[in-house]
Structure 1
Amino acid sequence: MAQAETVEKILNAALVLFAERGFAETSLRTITGMADVNLAAVNYHFGSKKELIQAVFSKFLQPFCEILEKELDSLEAAQPEGGAPSAEQVISCVLDTMLKTTTVCGVSVQRLTRLLNLAYTQSQEHLRHHLVANFGKTYHRMTTLMHKTMPGVSPVEFYWRLYFMLGAAVFTLSSFDSLRSILNTDYSTDTELEEVLHLMVPALAGMLRSPHDPT
């Protein structure tokens, strides 16, 4: 088996298992069993479980950031002179990029958002350092554009509003299959993922821009 094929098989198995079970609950032996490679292959190609976790995130965040940078370039270039994108435009750009990334990586939005959730809900400080070092520039650009739409909101309040918004988005997308099933049962109707993303844009923008009440 070619080395590149071995690496890809390990990454794909790890991505699926981490998303479904979590980091601590997924052993390297389980990953290599699904990938059908020997245990030594993980150490040879990645060095450790921590580095494998980082590589899994890089697998989808690298194309995500590359696509998003181009999308944001186009979005800013389309603005009137001196103008800035709206929160809705930036959010739409991010969600569209997420869909495009799933096509490039061959992984569902549900799995990608479950992994993003794990980065914050499980103790993986090394992963957060990795994400900031390698993808922090694009994240900073995105959040700066969002903050510009709310000049009166302090950095601390914006920080919390941003994570309220991200938390709602991650929960909805990572739980999409379950939420869709409940909708089918309770309302006898269905909603495709693309339609849900469209519905999310004004709701998420509203979380960012809701009026500040100091009381």
Structure 2
Amino acid sequence: MKKNFKWLIVVGSILLAGCTNQIQNVQKEVDLVSSEKEEIVVSLNTIQNKEMEIQGDFDESLLTDAELKNFQDESALVFENVESREEEVQKLKKVLEEVQTDVEDLNAFEEESLPLEQISSLTQTIEEINKIMDAYISTYENQLSEEKVVFQSLGEEEADFDTLYNGVDSLNEMSDQNLESLRPLADLFNQFDEQVNQLSESLTEETEK
């Protein structure tokens, strides 16, 4: 009889260890997506800050070359601005790929002792964020390409005030539309943070049982 009790204790210990490992793995994934969410925020802020600098870069580009040859050969400061934002977009693409992998890993957890509903709610929020970001990246890459076209056109011999006015007007419209597409992210990021905190608390409670 004692042997049976020892056997049950061993089995119980194994099951408990397995459950603890699952909890730790979930928390690890949650920590990863939290870190990646912060990377997304940093890149988005960097892109917006660089956009705000474009007017100053444009004015300096005009002052350094009255003939605007620097627009034609892409040595004007505005092209550096565009390139820096292209780099941030590439960072966003890489981070979103990592986030999608983490979402798949989170959705793969099936242990009934885990807070599966909370995990599911979190991954749904992340997927909403990813959907918005994927659409934004696509349209923002178009904006960056159009910026290059407009800036290059300013260096052409036939360029005049209308070239500048129409080009800048078109870019401002694209920029406003892209910025508007990001508006839902504020609420989604807040929702994400709340869900992460709640899930982490639930995981801690499970660990302490």
TM-score, normalised with respect to structure 1? 0.29
Higher helix share: 2
- Larger relative contact order, structure 1 or 2 (CA cutoff 8 Å, min sep 6): 2
Compare CA radii of gyration and give the structure with the larger one. 2
TM-score, normalised with respect to structure 2? 0.30
